[in-house]
Amino acid sequence: MRTYKKKIFNIMEEVVEDNLNSIIESGKIDFCTCDKCLNDIAAIALNSLRPKYVSTSEGAVIARIEKLKDQLNVDIYEKLVLAIETVKKNPHH
Ligand SMILES: [Zn+2]
C-alpha cells in the first residue's frame, strides 16, 4: 500500500523565522522575546501572508528561499511589525 508522506514545505515559515530573528537582532523594536510571544508573532504573521508551498528536497528548498528572500522581505517585515504590535497589546502570559 502506498501512503502519502508529506514532503512539502511552506517556505514562508523559514523566511518569517529569518526576518523575525533580524528584527530581534536589530533591537529597533522593543517587545517580549520569550518563546511564547515569538511563536505567537510568527503564527499571526504567517496567517496574514500567502503560503508558498514547494515540493522538493531540502537542499533545493534552501536555494529557493535564498532567491525569494529579497523580494519577500519588505512585505514580511511589515506583517511582522503588525504581529509584534498585536502580541504586545495582548500577550499570552
Ligand atoms: Zn512573552
Model confidence pLDDT, tens digit, residues 7-62: 888 888 988 998 999 999 999 999 999 999 999 999 999 999 999 888 877 666 67
The mean predicted confidence, pLDDT, of the chain is 88
Residue 18: domain span: 9-89
Confidence (pLDDT) at 59: 65
Identify the DSSP state of 30: -
Q: How many domains does the chain have?
A: 1
Task: State in Å: Cα 50 to ligand 1 middle.
Answer: 26
In a domain, 22, yes or no: yes
Please state the rounded mean pLDDT for residues 85-89. Answer: 97
Residue 36, in any domain of the structure: yes
Note whether residue 1 is domain-resident.
no
Q: 26 C-alpha to center of ligand 1: Å?
A: 18
Say if 85 falls within a structural domain.
yes
Neighbours of ion ligand 1 (CB under 5 A): 32, 34, 37
Assigned C-alpha cell, 77: 517585515
Q: Please indicate, yes or no, if residue 31 is contained in any of the structural domains.
A: yes
Q: Is 2 inside a domain boundary?
A: no
Pairing of strands 9-10, 53-54: antiparallel
Dihedral angle of Cα 40, 41, 43, 48, to the nearest 10 degrees: 140
Q: What percent of the chain is modeled with pLDDT above 70? A: 87
**What does the alpha-carbon distance between residue 54 and residue 58 come to, in Å, rounded to a whole number?**
10
- How many H-runs (helices) and E-runs (strands) does the chain carry? 3, 2
Q: How confident is the model at residue 71 (pLDDT cuts 50, 70, 90)?
A: low
| Residue 51 located in a structural domain | yes
